[in-house]
Structures are given as structure tokens and as C-alpha cells.
Structure 1
Amino acid sequence: MTVLGLPLDRVDSGPKTTGAAKFSAEYPYPGLTHAALVHATISRGRITAIDTREAEALPGVVTVLTHHNAPPLKPPQKVNPLNLPSMVSGTQVNYLQTDEVHWDGQPVAVVVAETLDAAREAANLVRVTYEQRASTVDFETAAPHARQQKNSPISQGFAKKGHAERALTEAPVSVDLRYTTPVYNHNALEPHATTAVWEGDRLTVHDATQTLDWFRRHLARRFGIPLANVRVLAPYVGGGFGGKGSIWAGTILAALAARATGRPVRLMLTREGVYRTVGGRTPSVQRVALGAGTDGRLTTLIHTSVARVGRTGGIPEQITSQSQHLYAADNILLRQQITELDLVPNTSMRAPGESIGTFALESAVDEFAGTLGIDPIEFRLRNEPAVNPLDGKKFSHRMLREAYELGAERFGWASRTREPGSMRDGRWLVGMGVASAYHPAWQFTANVTLRLAADGTVVLRCGFQEMGMGGATAQAQIVADALGVPFDAVHVVYGDSALPIAPGAGGSMQTASVAGSVLAACAKLRRRLRAGGGADLPDLVRRSGRSFVEVAVGADSGIGRILGQAKFFAKFFLDSRRWAKAAAGAHFCEVRVDPDTAEVRVSRWLGVFDVGRVVNAKTTASQLRGGIVMGIGMALSEHTLVDPRTGRIMNPGLGDYHVPVHADVPPIDVTWLGEPDPTMPLGVVGVGEVGITGVAAAIANAVHHATGKRIRDLPITLDKLL
């Protein structure tokens, strides 16, 4: 019997539940010191004076590093999508190397002390004087002056088919709508933390990172040491969601402080420190305009967006991505614009682009269906494309119609009355809403080694990351299935840059990427043993007189690495020309709204997903539910408040930035169709990102059905409904 698809417990569940698992801030070293950051209090300018005397006099303080005495540090590389490791830098700021300040919260000093309390107390005693310069920090006033985003291999800033604006004016029925989404900040269970140790010119870093290899290369370049002299360890990461996919100030300054003091340094960001130094999701202003005939067939689809980046970094989000693929229309216009602000640069956050892009598109589709007098599911199915609408590419795999049909039956959609405000349960107004989920599927290269011992045990070594999604468990299941060995006989070693290189954990690509190489390694091992289909592989090893057989796929250096990168880019561009690959799904949401207080409660949820083959049912369900919960927060409560005068974040922490708690989350039913994508390894597509897409729209659509009010500006708060 295959172990693929079974809901097996995570292989790291024991260490995590017993406390044996060590996270990046839990590694002991002799002479360990602690560091704390001093943050700038202006949004743009320069430091004219910095007084560290009172801080340095505090008992236990080892040193205070500023731009006057910090060791030299090389600047980050400029971002180049064709040089993937260059994209790991969160900002272009060269910390503590100049007197320049680029945003409110930028670190301008780091205190190192014998204890964490002393470091943080001393950081409060550093006095900084500034010369302020004119800054731009208000997104709302900057948005009208945004510039066109350029196309790149990872995001299209502009795309069109036909004459969308003209078709809109000629359409018998049309809508032209505006949506906004705010800034959102990362709140992973484990805040960013780094333990850095130098031994001569060799650097070891324990860090909460999602990208071991790119991270390691960045550190080697910044500190001017050979790549082989840097080791990054991240066996356990307490959540990332994109925020730990880049290198931020805490990591760089921990390593800088360790070099300056000659002692191990631990730097744990406070919750406020995360907000001040780590990017979040960009705000957006979006326009969605739809035109159709009276038969409900779309004739035109326009989706434009304005988002922000920092003046010192940030990557534009693919806000109109899903609008290339979800609906058949003869005319399509997609445009993304960006504006640069003097704020901490934005960064990836679960399904960057599609999370907020689906809110606008799926809200507009729902509203347009109401204008046409067509059921919102029927309208979506009526406009379901046979090929990719924008360019005619084939879908590698698409079962969105089946997801809606199954979901409608299981959710009881037929019981929904059409008129808004027509359903009640006692005093509560009841509403039902739907929305499509969508996220592209990617596959990168991964290097692995696989060892089969004569005693039947198997060791897979690969430098991928485990952030709680069950990656190691899934890869163990894949190995067990491919080699015909028990699941418990497989041991997966991961989370260390000394292991064979793997892609970062992001974009829902890690499972498929590593699986492709794992399958190749298993096939290579079978060939090495000349094993037939039903062979007992451990017995073949024993009969060969060897204690083990080991194979490798990919190379970390030399000509092998160059060839591997060339192979990746060739496959990436060839696939992008041939196929439209994606995970998709249908969200069904029920809300209850108090007619007097406008309190919104999400009371029931069903998600039906087309995510290819599922490797582990338990971890897949967990990922999909987690995405939905995160989407509930995006829709109803999360909102980073940025002072439009100063650029200062006004609610930097969980006391004032409200994420969903248990009372906010209903029973969430998730299911999947389970049909493999034939163009992906094992048919795996990815589940980490798709769950959040469409969630905010499903809630907004349900709220409209309950109350008759359309909320086009997130979050959906009481004042917007009263």
C-alpha cells in the first residue's frame, strides 16, 4: 500500500511538542552576548550626532555600535531576477555604514550586552540627533503619481488583449469599481531572531530563515569571506509566510556585532522591532471594470493596481496575476503601477499579489453577477475559459468547475435566497458568499543525496526549510513510496546550508521542487542496484557486500551548478510558454451580522481545492485552513496604521494589530479533488499559498448578501457597515 496521501503525523512533532526542538534563539554558546537595536525616529534625513555615553556606562554593556565604529560591510547587490540570490536582500541599506536615514524604524545603532535586559535598557539610553529631509510617506496622496511597473520574469506590469476600454464603453452591461487594501504586517509565532558566531573568518549563523542558500551567499558577500566559510542553520522555523524569505537588519547586525566583539551574539527582535525593520504587504488601490452582454458572457475585463515599494527596496506584487487566468473575455487589460515611499520596504506575504488581487476581482465579479441578475456561481461557470484567456496557452491542469459543483452541493448553496438581507437566524442577518482561489504553480531545482543502508534505513539529505508545513514528513512519504520501504525507515536531514542546495520555502514550490529531485534520486538508486519493480532494495544492498549505496542529484558548485541553473531557467521559460499552471479552488462562506452593532461573525466555511496530488492529508488540510484563517484576519481586522505625516507605524504589535483568535474562526471544512497535474513531479501543485486567496472576497460577498452593503475597502469594520 502506498503511503502517499495518508494523514501521517509530522516527523518533527515529538521534538516540537516536548520542547526538544531548538529554534534560532535557543542555541547556547560560551560567552554568549545579547544585542538590541536602536531605531530611527525620522522617515528621511541624516544623523548629526549620536551620544552613546550613558548607554555604554550601564553595567553589563559590552559595546554600542554606530556608523562611527562599526566594522566595514559591503553593500547589497542590486536586485536582478536573473540572479536569484540577489533578491534575498530586504533593503539596499548598508546598515551602520553611513549617517543616512531612509525610514522611521531603520536601525541606527546596536547595543551588545551580557544580558538581554541590559541590552534593551541601554538601547533606550542612546541619544540620536537628526537633520530631517522632505519625505513621502502617505500612500494615498502618492498613489495618483505612480509610475508604470516594468515587466519581469516573475511579474507582469502590463498585459493586454484586444481593446478593453473601448469594449467597456460598448458593453450592454458594465461595472467600473474601485477597491483598496491596507498595509499588513508579519506576525509569525517566532519573531525574527539570529545567533551569530565567528571563528576567525568563519561565520556560523542560526537564523529563522526561509532561504538557506541565498541567505548564505548574501552573508558571504556582505562580509567579504568565501562562501565555504559561512554556515546557516535553520532546522526549525516558527512560521515565515514570506517575512523570513529575505535578510533584514537583525541578521546583518547580529553578525556585524559578533565580528566587532569577537563573541557570540544573539539578537531577538521584539514584536515592535519586526514591524520597524521587516517589510509587510503593500497597500493597494485597484480598479476592476467588467463588461458583458445580456447573456452574462464577459466581453471585457480590466484590472489595474497601484502598490508601493520602499525607496530602498521592495519587490512589486503580482496583484493582477489571477486576472490573466480566471475568466474568459475577448478583451483584457491588466496594468500594475508602483510608487516609492520613505518607508521600510514591502516584502512577500502569503500569496503576495493574489491575496489582495483576488479580493478586488472576486468582489467585482460577485457584484457584476448581481447586476446581471445571475447567480454568482453560475456567472463564474458561464465564463470559465477552455484555455488561458490572455494568451491562449493550455492549462496544465484545471478543475475549478468541478470544485464549484462539489462545493455548492456540500455547502447547501441551493438554500441561499437571492435578495440581500433576506436570510435571518433569529436576530442575526445571514449571508452566503463565494469566491475563487488561485495561485500559480512553480518548480525550482533542488540537489539531494539519498543513502540506502543494508539494514533498510534510508537517509535523504537536502537543505530545504521546515516552517511548520510538514515538508520533511512529505518528503519522507515520497521516498518511502518510491523505494518501497516503511515510512518509519526514512530519515530526512534538512535545514542546514552544509547540505545539498534546495530552493527557499516560498511560493508553494518547495514540495514539488524537492520531490522532482527525490524521485530522480530514487530512480538512480534503483538503476545502481539493477533493481526491478518488486525488488527488495535493502536485500540487494546486502548481497552486494556493501553497507550502503548512496546517489546524488544535482551539484552545489562548479560546472554542475552552472548546468543546473541553466537547466532550471530553460525549463522555467519553456514551461511558462507552454502551460498555465496553478492551484485553484472555490471558497464558500457564511456570515452572521448583528443588525444593531454591525458585528460580523464568520459562522461556516467550506473550501474545495484543485491542488493536484496530495502527499499528506493532515498537513495539507492544516495548510489550507491556515490560509483561510489568515484571510479572515485580512478581511475583518488586520490593518497596519501608518502615520501619513511621519511614516511611523502606530500599532506595531499584537496589542493593537488584531489577528484572528479562536473566537473569530468558525469550523472550517476543506477538501480537495486529488487529481494530479501531469506536468508536475508526482502531480503535486502546492497548497501553502492558495488557501488565503479569495478569502477576503468571499467574506465581503457574504456580508453584502447579509446586509445589502458593498464594502470595497478592507478591513470590513463596524463603522463601514453601520
Structure 2
Amino acid sequence: MLNIGNKQKRVDGPQKVTGKATYAADIASPFYHAYVLQSTIACGSITAIDTSAAEAFEGVKGIFTHKNLPERLKNKVDYTDPLSPPGKPFRPFYNDKILYNGQPIALVVAQTFEQARYASKLIKVTYEEKKFKGSLSDNLKNASADRAPEPASNRGDFKKAFKNSDYTIIREYRQSRNYHNPMEPHATSVEYKSDGSLVVYDKIQGVASSLKYLNGVFGLGADRVQVKSDFVGGAFGSGLRPQYQLFMATLAALELKHNVQMVMTRAQMFSFGYRPEVIHTMKLGCSKDGILKALSHKTVGETSTFEDFNETIVDWSGLLYKCDNVNLEYELTPVQSYTPLDMRAPGGVSGVYALECAIDELAHEAGIDPLEFRRKNYVDYDQNEDKPFTSKELMACYARCEEVFGWKNRKDLSKTEPHLLKGYGMATGSWEALQQPASVSLSMNEEGTFTIKCATADIGTGTYTVMSQIAADKLGVSIEKIKFMLGDTAFPDSPIEGGSWTVSSVGSAVASVCEKFKYRIADIWKRNNPDYQAVAFEDISFQKGKLEYGSKTFAFTEIMQQASKEELSIAHSESPAAGQNTHSGYAHCCVMVEVTVDKDLGIIKVPRLVNVSAAGKIINPKTAENQLLGSMVWGLGMALREEGMVDTRYGRVMNANFAEYHIAVNADIHDIHTEFVEEKDDKVNPLGAKGVGELGIVGLAAAISNAIFDATGKRLRKLPMLLDDVLEA
């Protein structure tokens, strides 16, 4: 039976449900434990830090601050990593300067975690506090396009087209700061070896990132440090850049010459990156029959004072719909906080939220059904890049979603309890389909079992399973004969797991190395069987671990024995095909939602969510569906729950916990449905597959916002949309 295209249970599932899967903090070694003390001001400097009481406390093995940071870590050291934005990356303990509230200012290492945590409270710190740049809203006058990359080129004459449009809107949309909060907190376990080398177990979305960082900061090359990350309990962008626990655990291990482990607390998970707060200004115009004539999207986002974090936000407005007169602007405003981080569908989920709300508002002004309005303005090529798409089955998504949801008859279904208002909304979603260079190795042992290695990651998305499926089909063996190994810098290089490109990048490399193996095994067979030397490769087939030619079959293991080979090994590196950049690759979806709003209490519920996606070849519908469902739940949380609240007087995150930072929970989720339409793509990558991890969240918040308007007649233009907002409206 073919594996590709069929639902396959996770090959790593038994390890996870039985507790045998080892995460970064699960390593069983005699560790010292590290705990970090954080600043309580947002801007200024440390005038004094007294660690004497903490040093004298039971079990304490060492304390690190800016006062005793080794000099070698201050000069000619590269703190950057592959995903550093422009600017100067944060350097822990570099000096006495405070850049943001929650900045790590001291590290306590003790025999136990409890001893380290208690001792940290004995450290006395005094500050010289300075005025700081607080919130985005308070610093809009400092917004600048100079700190941001240029968006896609403007086209046409927006001002003229907008002025001559029959229907126009000018709207502002706001989106609050969001925090990642994966189930597994960030952690690093460092094993110190007798020769001074290290084995580092890090929560990261690509071990190569951690290795590069350790090399740049500590001068530790691959000959002195090995980074491993077998399992990651969610990351969604928070693990793209090495976080400060990696630096601190490694520093302590090297200085104390002992194993050290550091696990962040949930509150500390709010002390680094996040999805930035943004403010959008949308100006749209259309003709009487609903044809888009003018579109302007300006976004102002927040960044730190020391790095210029940026996202591709406004470009989506020049991409999703046919419009010849487009103006795109993007600015950044520095605030006293840590640098934002990429977060699921970075830029796309923010930009499409504003666009899809504005499209809905313009459709309402023109008196046209929202779905029909989108169909009228469908575009079959990338106007930003002036390229055709590798494939685009968005129209099929519209049709199928309309059918499954019952969009045409939605008002006939709107009867409900007297105190509830019911509404329906929709949106388009999209995410880019990219391929990155990736390398893999393959070996087969004398028992016919294949081991494939790659330094990629599995953050819960199903990488172990999908790669095993690809290899099994390409080799013609059962999935039980495949052992896929990842998350180790000793393995061939891989891009980070992010951007929904792992299947297209690593999967394409796996498919190619399997093809190489078949050529190799066929060559060995022909060299050891003179009667078959003239056989063309195209006339050979591979099934059930055997080479087949005519009525003859030869087991892979027999061929190896004939060649006196105990193990057959092959390596391969795969890059995007030459000429692949002649087309634009994107996955697309249509999302429709039903909401109810309590007239008296303002409580918003979402009884029904439907998503229909076009994402090329779906390797494993089970894990792909799982990715979309997770994204959709997150999109609901983004729309109605998640809000990072910062006290602008002190620059402190006020709700740095799960009690007050609200996320979607089981009680929020009712009827949720997702499916795929068929989409054949022979250009996007050798597998024809597009990622879906990000796709499900894009457009969801806008669809809910549009449905709330349909229910109440009031537009809520700020995320999250809370019951207070409904009552005020």
C-alpha cells in the first residue's frame, strides 16, 4: 500500500504517549540547576548588585552577572544567529545597561532548582532609572520607514483611482501583542565532558542555529560541541532564534566545568520574543459592480530599541486580489522591550487580518455578498512579482467551503435563542510555499532496515512520520523498515523547521536520496550479475525490499551480500531547481465561521468553523489536518482571547501567566471542520507539496470579526475582540 497521500499514525506517537520521548529538560545526568534574576525596570543601568547573601546560601555553586562575565565574551564575539534582524543582538551580562523590563541580570547556579530560585531572591540590586519608550501608541511619532525593509513596489496611481471609485472606505485596524507559549518551556541541558567538550540538548527549531550561536559566542565549533534536539514540545517561531537560556547554561557549564540545566518558568517565557503589536490603515475603493480599483495598506509595527525586527505584512494586500492601483507602506517604531519574534504565519496573519476585514467592509458598502465580491476580484497571477503561480485552486476552495458550510442558505439557519444574535463571516487565507536547501544521508544495514538522518526538527508537526512515509514509498519498502533520525548537529545540514517548508525542503531531499539508492543498488546488482549488465534502469522496479526485473526478484539484502557490503550508505544535498523562481508558490484556503453574540452579556462564541485548503500534494492527510486544526484553534484565540498586556509606566508584561494571558481552551471549540481540494503542482518542488502549518491561522481572525458584524451590525476593529468591546459598540 502506498504511504504518500494516506493517513498514517505518527511513528513517534508511542514514545510520546508512554513518556519515553526525551525533551531538552528530560536528560538524565547529574545537573547543577540554573535560575535567572530579571530586571524590574525598563531602561537605565545597574548601579550596584550585591550577591554575597546568595553566594552564602546552601547549595549555591556560582553566580554570574555583568561584573564577572569572562572578558573573552566581551570582545570580538559574534552574538548573531541565522535569523538575527538588523541591529545589535542582545548580549546577556554584557554591561550594566538595562534595555527592557525582564532583562536577565544575574544567573544563580545551585545543586537544586529550588535552591537556585530562592538564592536569586537574596540578590540586592539598585538601579538608575531613565525615561523609556513605552507602547507603540505612545511612540507613533518615532515611526520610520528607514528602519523597515521596502515592501513590494507600488503600482498604478492609487490616489487618482481612489478618488474616482464609486465606493470607498478608510479604516484603522489594531492587533495586540501575542506571546508564543508552547506547551514545553524553553530549556537547555549541557553535559560537560572530561575533555572540555559539550553535548548540548536545546529546545530549538533547528540545531544548526544553536551551533552557530555557540560557535560565535564561545568559539565552540562542531569538534567541541554537539547540539541535539530529538523532540520539541511546540515552538511556532519561539525556537527559531536561540534564547538566553542556551547562553546561560553553556556559560555556567564551561565556567563550573560541570553539567548544567536551565529551564525557563512560564513567566520567563514572556521575557523574550512575541508577535508585535501593529496598527493598520486601509484605504480601498471599488466600482459599482464591485471591481477593486484602488488599495492602500499602511502598517506601523513595534520593534526593540536595539534590533529592527520586521515582517512581510503589507505585501499580502498587493497579492491576494486583482488591483492595478496599489500603495503599500511599512514603518517600525522602537519600544523598550525585547525584540519581537516570528510567530506562526509571521506577517501574513497580521496583514491578511486587516485586508480581509477591509474587503468585507467594502463589499458591504457596495451591497455585494462577501464571497461573490472575492470571486469578482480573483487574480490568477502574482501582481507583486509579475509571475504566474505554480498552481492556485482557490476557486475550488471557495466552491467547496460554500457547499460544506451552507453559505447560500446561511440566513435560513439563523434561528436561535432570543437572547443570542447569530452571524456568519468568511475570509481568504494564503501562505507562501518555499523550498530551502537540505541535506540527508541514507544507509541500509544487512537486515534491510534503512536509517535516514537529517539535522531538521520535529516541533510536533509530524516530521518523523512524513519523512518515513516518503522514504518508504520511494524505496518500495514498508514504513516499519524506515528509521528517520533528526535533531543532531552530527547529521547532515537542514534549514530550521519553520515557514511551512520542511516537507518541501527535507522531503524533497529524502525523495532524491532514495532515488540515488535505487540507482546504486541496481548498479551493484548489474556488476555482480553479468547477465543483466545491459538492463536499463527504467525496466527495473522496486517493491517490498526487492529489485524486480521481469519475473525475477532480488532482495536488497541479497544484493548487498553478493557485494560483501555490511552497510550501504549514500549522502545527498537538494536545492531548489534552477528556474524555480520563475513562478510564485502559495497555498490558499477559504474559511467560513458562525458566531453567536449574547445581547445582554456580550459573550462571543464560535459554534462552527470550516476551512477548505489547496496545498498541493498532501503527504499525510492525518498530520496535515492536525496542523490546520491547531492553526484554526490558535486563530480563534487570536481573535477572541490572546492579548499581551504591558504596563506602560514600567514596561512590564502584566499577564505573564496562563491565568491572565487567555488562550483558546476546549470549551471554546465546538464544530470545527477542515478538508483539502485536489491541487496538482509540478513546479513548486519535486514532491508537489505545500506546507499547511501556517495556513490555517491566516484569515481566521478576520472571518470571526466579519461574522460579529453580521450578527450585531457593529464593526470591532481591534484584536482581540472582547465582550467589553461588544457592549461598548
Amino acid in structure 1 at the alignment position of 2:28:
P
From 667, 679, 689, the equivalent of 2:671 is: 667
User: Does structure 1 retain, via aligned residues, the 8 Å contact 2:85–2:309?
Assistant: no
Q: Which runs of 5+ in 2 are unaligned?
A: 523-536, 548-553
Moved more, 529-538 or 183-192: 529-538
From 279, 287, 290, the equivalent of 1:293 is: 287
- Rounded to whole Å, the distance in 1 between the matches of 2:11 and 2:623 is 11
Corresponding residue number in structure 2 for 1:411: 405
Is 1:146 aligned to 2:143, yes or no? yes
Q: For residues 309-320 of structure 1, what are the structure 2 equivalents within 5 Å?
A: 309-313=303-307, 315-320=309-314
User: Does structure 2 retain, via aligned residues, the 8 Å contact 1:204–1:231?
Assistant: yes
How many equivalent pairs are there? 696
Instruction: Could you list the structure 1 runs, at least 4 aligned residues long, displaced by more than 6 angstroms after superposition.
Output: 88-91
CA spacing shift, 1:697–1:710, aligned 2, 3 Å: same
Corresponding residue number in structure 2 for 1:16: 16
Is 1:526 aligned to 2:518, yes or no? yes
Provide the TM-score with structure 2 as the length reference: 0.92
From 584, 591, 597, the equivalent of 1:587 is: 591
Is 1:178 aligned to 2:172, yes or no? yes
Corresponding residue number in structure 1 for 2:710: 705
Q: In the TM superposition, what whole-angstrom CA distance separates every residue of 1:312-348 from its partner, at most 9, and x where no partner exists?
A: 2352111123213110001111111111112011001
Corresponding residue number in structure 2 for 1:197: 191
From 123, 128, 133, the equivalent of 1:126 is: 123
Is 1:720 aligned to 2:725, yes or no? yes
User: Does structure 1 retain, via aligned residues, the 8 Å contact 2:468–2:484?
Assistant: yes
- Rounded to whole Å, the distance in 1 between the matches of 2:85 and 2:365 is 45
Q: Which runs of 5+ in 1 are unaligned?
A: 555-563
* Distance apart, 1:150 and its partner CA: 6.2
Moved more, 87-96 or 366-375: 87-96
Corresponding residue number in structure 1 for 2:448: 456
User: Does structure 2 retain, via aligned residues, the 8 Å contact 1:88–1:245?
Assistant: no
From 391, 394, 398, the equivalent of 2:388 is: 394
User: Does structure 2 retain, via aligned residues, the 8 Å contact 1:90–1:279?
Assistant: no
- Rounded to whole Å, the distance in 1 between the matches of 2:164 and 2:100 is 47
Corresponding residue number in structure 1 for 2:92: 95
Corresponding residue number in structure 1 for 2:324: 330
Q: For residues 148-547 of structure 1, what are the structure 2 equivalents within 5 Å?
A: 148=145, 156-199=150-193, 200-276=195-271, 278-313=272-307, 315-417=309-411, 424-530=416-522, 532-535=539-542, 536-537=546-547, 539-544=555-560, 545=562, 546-547=565-566
User: Does structure 2 retain, via aligned residues, the 8 Å contact 1:189–1:239?
Assistant: yes
- Rounded to whole Å, the distance in 2 between the matches of 1:646 and 1:520 is 54
Corresponding residue number in structure 2 for 1:558: none
User: Does structure 1 retain, via aligned residues, the 8 Å contact 2:448–2:556?
Assistant: no
SS state at 2:239 partner: coil
- Rounded to whole Å, the distance in 2 between the matches of 1:393 and 1:353 is 21
Corresponding residue number in structure 2 for 1:54: 53
User: Does structure 1 retain, via aligned residues, the 8 Å contact 2:270–2:656?
Assistant: yes
- Rounded to whole Å, the distance in 2 between the matches of 1:178 and 1:261 is 54
Q: In the TM superposition, what whole-angstrom CA distance separates every residue of 1:375-419 from its partner, at most 9, and x where no partner exists?
A: 00000000001211234210111111110111001111011239x
- Rounded to whole Å, the distance in 2 between the matches of 1:209 and 1:89 is 21
* Distance apart, 1:719 and its partner CA: 1.2
Is 1:552 aligned to 2:571, yes or no? yes
Is 1:608 aligned to 2:622, yes or no? no
- Rounded to whole Å, the distance in 1 between the matches of 2:700 and 2:325 is 27
Q: In the TM superposition, what whole-angstrom CA distance separates every residue of 1:240-289 from its partner, at most 9, and x where no partner exists?
A: 0000111121111111111121111111100111102x210000000111
User: Does structure 1 retain, via aligned residues, the 8 Å contact 2:79–2:217?
Assistant: no
Provide the TM-score with structure 1 as the length reference: 0.93
CA spacing shift, 1:533–1:284, aligned 2, 3 Å: farther
- Rounded to whole Å, the distance in 1 between the matches of 2:142 and 2:65 is 36
Is 1:7 aligned to 2:7, yes or no? yes
Percentage identity across aligned positions?
A: 34
- Rounded to whole Å, the distance in 2 between the matches of 1:190 and 1:86 is 22
From 104, 109, 122, the equivalent of 2:106 is: 109
Q: For residues 12-51 of structure 1, what are the structure 2 equivalents within 5 Å?
A: 12-30=12-30, 32-51=31-50
User: Does structure 2 retain, via aligned residues, the 8 Å contact 1:589–1:602?
Assistant: yes
- Rounded to whole Å, the distance in 1 between the matches of 2:185 and 2:159 is 46
CA spacing shift, 1:368–1:709, aligned 2, 3 Å: same
- Rounded to whole Å, the distance in 1 between the matches of 2:540 and 2:56 is 72
- Rounded to whole Å, the distance in 2 between the matches of 1:150 and 1:529 is 55
User: Does structure 2 retain, via aligned residues, the 8 Å contact 1:342–1:647?
Assistant: yes
User: Does structure 2 retain, via aligned residues, the 8 Å contact 1:677–1:685?
Assistant: no
- Rounded to whole Å, the distance in 1 between the matches of 2:651 and 2:248 is 23
- Rounded to whole Å, the distance in 1 between the matches of 2:594 and 2:440 is 45
CA spacing shift, 1:493–1:89, aligned 2, 3 Å: farther
User: Does structure 2 retain, via aligned residues, the 8 Å contact 1:319–1:354?
Assistant: yes
Amino acid in structure 2 at the alignment position of 1:686:
G
- Rounded to whole Å, the distance in 1 between the matches of 2:137 and 2:188 is 35
- Rounded to whole Å, the distance in 1 between the matches of 2:444 and 2:262 is 40
Q: In the TM superposition, what whole-angstrom CA distance separates every residue of 1:646-683 from its partner, at most 9, and x where no partner exists?
A: 21111111111000110011221100113232222311
Corresponding residue number in structure 2 for 1:557: none
* Distance apart, 1:77 and its partner CA: 4.1
SS state at 1:95 partner: coil
* Distance apart, 1:225 and its partner CA: 2.7
